[in-house]
Structure 1
Amino acid sequence: MTRRLAVVSAGLSQPSSTRLLADQLAGATRDELAGRGEAVDLHQIELREHAHDVVNHLLTGFPSESLRAVLDTVTGADGLIAVTPIFNASYNGLFKSFFDLVEADALADRPVLIAATGGTARHSLALEHGLRPLFAYLHAVVVPTAVFAAPEDWSGDTAESGLRGRIDRAAAELAEQIHRRPPSTGPVDPFALTTSFEELLGGAGH
């Protein structure tokens, strides 16, 4: 069975420690799912590449074709990894603007792993008072372990650091949540008919 995993990173620079953390979480989750007998179709999404489209959608109410595809990828995935840099003790504006565009209940019961990077370990609290409530509001299932990486976490051998342990633990939790659920049927079309025309016309005569 192949599972779809969407990985959203909101780093603004290139190269980005936020993207690096997202890649490591994605790789660990893929390995955990492989250990459960499941293949992974991995979709990496860097929000900086869609920043103009996100703003235009907020202003006009209509997404571009490429942004619509990104939103469908996120809402149609079996699991989501969401990683943001922390600015001023909160997620960055691009991250929040993107998830403001996600339809209500589109992530309901969807397993989500939240993670962040920041200039000081003190910013790690933003995961609990910022990101976790955001995805709880969207009715997603946020795994218990949130992963934060400060600059000192990248020094030395990360395989022997606390960061590696947090990545592996969070990835295992996300993989287990994905594994125990049926495959996603994809994004829901809000304009799709749930009743056929024949049923609609048949009901008109009653």
Structure 2
Amino acid sequence: MTGSGCCFAAGLLLLIGLTGGDPIPRPCVTPSGSAGQCVPLEQCSNLYAIKQLSPANAKNDLLKRAECDVLPAGKGVCCQPERIFALPEKCGLASYDRIANGNETAVFEFPWMALLMYRDTLEDELTPNCGGSLISDRYVLTAAHCLTENAHSKLEFVRLGEHTISKQEDCNNYTLDGVVELDCAGPVEDVAIESVIKHSDHRRKFGGHDIGLIRLARKIVFKGD
């Protein structure tokens, strides 16, 4: 190969190296004036958490101010070095198959969770006795035993957007560049029930086939992202 051919090949390899492969961290300055590194958003723990847990209107301004260009090509965020972490390629296996006595979830973390509210016919009070998951704009997936009424308890409606029953307003608090900020959820939404469907083979005494559906009285309008 001639000298010019070798130079061309070397240049081509260099170009390939610069336009592919893992992102290269670059020095940058955070919105607060601190030294940082420009990395993909997923590698910056505090900003990534804000993206995951905050609704769009609250997070967009925060992420926009931290935006920077990351090599080889694309957008990243300016992150303080001690807050950089690498996500594993594969998720691990859970150690427990129950969530009792586990960690409290953050507001906005599981927005599809639903609370089933029951009317105590003896005390004429509303009580939350079961949960479910919103799986479409009209259906909630739950356990069949939650749909079995008795003389003293009647399923009244489904509550969406609840996090802590004892609080009027649910908020996350996080620190960005040394400043503590609150990110609060909107009011809960109570939705009437049109009908319920239990697995035909469910028997409360034996516990098997414990699955059911709730059809809501109206379609849900999804909020945020």
**Same structural fold, with TM-score higher than 0.5 when normalized by the shorter chain:** no
TM-score (norm 1): 0.25
Could you say which structure has the higher helix fraction? Answer: 1
When Rg is computed on C-alpha atoms for both structures, the one with the higher figure is: 2
TM-score (norm 2): 0.24
Could you say which structure has the higher strand fraction? Answer: 2
Greater RCO (Cα-Cα under 8 Å, separation 6 or more):
1
